[in-house]
């Protein structure tokens, strides 16, 4: 059925000089329970010595799957002296060691073997073998070994740069279990094992480490920010500092500090900050009554540089700032304004005037109108309109007018040449109702109005007159006369008259031009000299060239029929320049009959 299986039987036999012990039967049977029917026997010396070591078991006979007995022959490495066993010197357990002995024939006797082991960290010395054998001569085959502490090479404990080392020696210096711990200077990181131990192989458990300058993760300039770093020992290494600044309108986030320090652990003392746009509270932007608001956001809604502008309804005035800006302090630059009804400055009734106002929304407020009028002789000044309107800006559409006395231009009152002027001013100089009178120098005549008055139209009632040199009417030489004047018939001119021969001056021989532009007398005439009226001759007839017997008149005498002129009479006579006739009246005498 199989080796050592159900129904297998084994028979035990001992070598010569030995007998079975601890068994009532030399044959054992493998039962259905998988157990032998008895304990395995041992062979014992008939002299009472135990055979401690079996070197081999020989199967004498085996037949599978039958009830045949299996014979075993026990054989040994050496023969057993049943009467005098050789003894070797007793061995002792070495200090820091272990001794395992087997005594097949007797304690520390022939064929006894002792194996020596050292506790960990110690090694055998003074013997070439770890197992001693008691020989037939009563001697061990080698000297008893001792256990000595294992030593490691102290020169292998070196100090790398930036390193210190501390060693502990539980036994001896640089011996088993001595431990050395390496420490890097601050800012240096240990690469390798920080401890090494002297092992049982006489080697240190690890090689000396190195100390490398601690490196921190590389930092980057944040978007919308600036990074200023200082690296006293190496780029992004121990004691490197990086200061972070954000562009205006941005603030540091994700870090409690703006300056990071690379520490001895290779970590920055804080997380790298980022620059985020500054936000202002949107709920702070509220339109006041009668207002609206418009916002512009160059970045994000209600963030840095967002600007909101407030607008008041027409007729309302913004009090406060009309714009507010989100600043870098996360606050708005100004609080929301208020919109108040526009007020215009209060107006007053002008002196010498009247004011009529209407206030549809409030006294002197938006849409109020005031009309101004002045008393006669006064005019509105300081305004281009007689009606003022309160506008959306809180200003009247023009300055408040005043009523001032009407002024006429004084420069319009200029004395013309050869004139003087006298003015009277019932109010102010050259103002309404002022009157000026012009006077010409003697010999000059005023042309125009001699007086002018300042009217309500700001104009003088008349233009300034002129003073013209007085001219008397031009004179002509009298008929049959001559004229001689000192000047051109101007004031003061004198004119002398004379008549030609035969004419007699009738009137003043000299006249002068007076200030009234009239001659002092009527111009004289040159009248012909008048001769005495001639009677017609007796018995005759007279025919004259003119009815009036004036100078140059010629009278012709003729006699009636039967008569003839006297021999001494002139047929013709003429009126001379001196008013006498050139002859006597003719005499007509009867003709003598022959």
pLDDT in tens, 9-54: 887 776 544 456 655 567 777 887 877 787 777 765 544 444 333 3
Q: What pLDDT does 21 receive?
A: 64
Q: What residues does 404 pair with on adjacent strands?
A: 379
Q: What pLDDT does 60 receive?
A: 36
Contact 373, 379 (CB under 8 A): no
pLDDT tens per residue across span 439-485: 998 889 899 999 999 998 889 999 999 998 898 999 999 999 999 99
Cα 573 to Cα 540: distance, rounded to the nearest angstrom: 15
Q: What pLDDT does 66 receive?
A: 34
CB atoms within 10 A of CB 404: 19
Cα 91 to Cα 182: distance, rounded to the nearest angstrom: 44
The model's pTM is: 0.39
At residue 284, φ and ψ (nearest 5 deg) are -80, -10
Domain 282-341 and domain 353-405, same fold? Reply is yes
At residue 76, φ and ψ (nearest 5 deg) are -130, 165
What does R_g of the chain's alpha carbons equal in angstroms? 85
Number of helices and strands in the chain (H, E): 0, 46
The candidate with the shortest Cα–Cα distance to 11, out of 34, 23, 28, is 28
Cα 349 to Cα 372: distance, rounded to the nearest angstrom: 8
Q: Under CATH, domain 97-149 is a member of which superfamily?
A: Complement Module, domain 1 (2.10.70.10)
Which position has the token pair 């012009």?
Answer: 438
**What DSSP assignment string belongs to 162-211?**
TEEEEEE-SSSTTBTT-EEEEEEPTTEEEES-SEEEB-TTSSBSS---EE
Q: What pLDDT does 2 receive?
A: 54
Q: Which residues in the chain show pLDDT less than 70?
A: 1-3, 14-25, 43-84, 593-594
Cα 388 to Cα 411: distance, rounded to the nearest angstrom: 33
The candidate with the shortest Cα–Cα distance to 308, out of 289, 328, 330, 334, is 334
Q: Under CATH, domain 154-213 is a member of which superfamily?
A: Complement Module, domain 1 (2.10.70.10)
Sheet holding 131-133, edge to edge: 97-102, 113-118, 131-133
Query: What is the rounded (10 degree) CA torsion for 344, 349, 352, 354?
Result: 100
- On whether the 282-341 domain is CATH 3.40.50.300, my answer is no
Q: Enumerate the domain spans of the chain.
A: 9-75, 97-149, 154-213, 225-277, 282-341, 353-405, 410-469, 481-528, 540-590
CATH class of the domain whose range is 410-469: mainly beta
The candidate with the shortest Cα–Cα distance to 424, out of 414, 433, 435, is 435
Q: Under CATH, domain 225-277 is a member of which superfamily?
A: Complement Module, domain 1 (2.10.70.10)
Q: Which CATH code, of 3.60.15.10, 2.60.40.1890, 2.10.70.10, 3.30.230.30, is assigned to 353-405?
A: 2.10.70.10
Q: Under CATH, domain 481-528 is a member of which superfamily?
A: Complement Module, domain 1 (2.10.70.10)
Cα 586 to Cα 29: distance, rounded to the nearest angstrom: 247
CB atoms within 10 A of CB 578: 11
Alpha carbon of residue 585 to chain centroid: 136
- Token digits of residue 545: 């060239």
DSSP 300: S
Q: Which CATH code, of 2.10.70.10, 3.40.50.300, 3.40.50.1950, 3.40.30.10, is assigned to 540-590?
A: 2.10.70.10
Helix (H, G, I), strand (E, B) or coil at 444: strand
Cβ-in-10-Å burial (0-12, 13-18, 19+) of 573 comes to buried
Computed over every residue of the chain, the mean pLDDT equals 86
């Amino acid at each position: 059925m199989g080796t050592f299986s159900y129904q297998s039987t084994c028979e035990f036999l001992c070598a010569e000089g030995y007998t079975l012990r601890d068994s009532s039967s030399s044959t054992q049977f493998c039962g259905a329970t998988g157990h032998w029917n008895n304990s395995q026997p041992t062979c014992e010396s008939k002299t009472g010595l135990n055979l401690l070591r079996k070197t081999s078991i020989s199967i004498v006979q085996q037949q599978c799957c039958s009830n045949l007995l299996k014979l075993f022959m026990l054989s040994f490495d050496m023969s057993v002296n049943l009467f005098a066993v050789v003894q070797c010197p007793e061995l002792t357990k070495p200090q820091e060691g272990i001794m395992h002995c087997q005594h097949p024939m007797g304690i520390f006797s022939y064929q006894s073997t002792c194996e020596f082991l050292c506790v960990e960290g110690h090694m055998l010395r003074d013997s070439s073998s770890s197992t001693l054998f008691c020989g037939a001569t009563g001697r061990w085959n080698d000297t008893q070994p001792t256990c000595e502490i294992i030593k490691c090479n102290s020169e292998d404990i070196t100090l790398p740069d930036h390193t210190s080392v501390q060693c502990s020696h539980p036994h001896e210096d640089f011996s088993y279990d001595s431990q050395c711990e390496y420490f890097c200077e601050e800012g240096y990181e240990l690469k390798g094992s920080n401890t090494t131990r002297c092992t049982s192989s006489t080697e240190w458990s690890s090689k000396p480490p190195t100390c490398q300058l601690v490196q921190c993760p590389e930092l980057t300039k944040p978007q919308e920010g600036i990074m200023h770093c200082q690296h006293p020992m190496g780029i992004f290494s121990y004691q490197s500092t990086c200061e972070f600044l954000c562009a205006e309108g941005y603030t540091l986030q994700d870090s409690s500090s703006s300056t990071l320090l690379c520490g001895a652990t290779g970590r920055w003392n804080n997380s790298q900050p980022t620059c985020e746009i500054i936000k202002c509270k949107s709920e702070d932007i509220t339109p006041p009554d009668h207002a609206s608001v418009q916002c512009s956001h160059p970045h994000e809604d209600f963030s840095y540089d967002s600007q909101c502008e407030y607008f008041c309804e027409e007729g309302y005035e913004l009090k406060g700032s009309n714009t507010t800006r989100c600043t870098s302090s996360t606050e708005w630059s100004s609080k929301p304004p208020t919109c108040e009804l526009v007020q215009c400055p209060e107006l007053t009734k002008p002196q010498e005037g009247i004011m009529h106002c209407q206030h549809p929304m409030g006294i002197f407020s938006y849409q109020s109108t005031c009309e101004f009028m002045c008393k006669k002789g006064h005019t509105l000044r300081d305004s281009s309109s007689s009606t003022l309107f309160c506008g959306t800006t809180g200003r009247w559409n023009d300055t408040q007018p005043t009523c001032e006395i009407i002024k006429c231009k004084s420069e319009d009152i200029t004395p013309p040449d050869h004139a003087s002027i006298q003015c009277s001013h019932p109010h102010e100089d050259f103002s309404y109702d002022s009157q000026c009178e012009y006077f010409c120098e003697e010999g000059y005549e005023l042309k125009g109005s001699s007086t002018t008055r300042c009217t309500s139209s700001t104009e003088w009632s008349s233009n300034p007159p002129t003073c013209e040199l007085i001219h008397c009417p031009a004179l002509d030489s009298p008929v049959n006369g001559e004229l001689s004047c000192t000047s051109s018939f101007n004031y003061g001119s004198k004119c002398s008259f004379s008549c030609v021969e035969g004419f007699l001056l009738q009137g003043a021989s000299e006249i002068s031009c007076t200030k009234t532009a009239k001659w002092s007398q009527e111009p004289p005439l040159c009248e012909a000299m008048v001769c005495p009226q001639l009677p017609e001759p007796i018995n005759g007839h007279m025919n004259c060239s003119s009815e009036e017997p004036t100078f140059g008149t010629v009278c012709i005498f003729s006699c009636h029929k039967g008569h003839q002129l006297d021999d001494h009479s002139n047929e013709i006579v003429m009126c001379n320049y001196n008013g006498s006739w050139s002859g006597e009246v003719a005499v007509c005498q009867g003709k003598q009959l022959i």
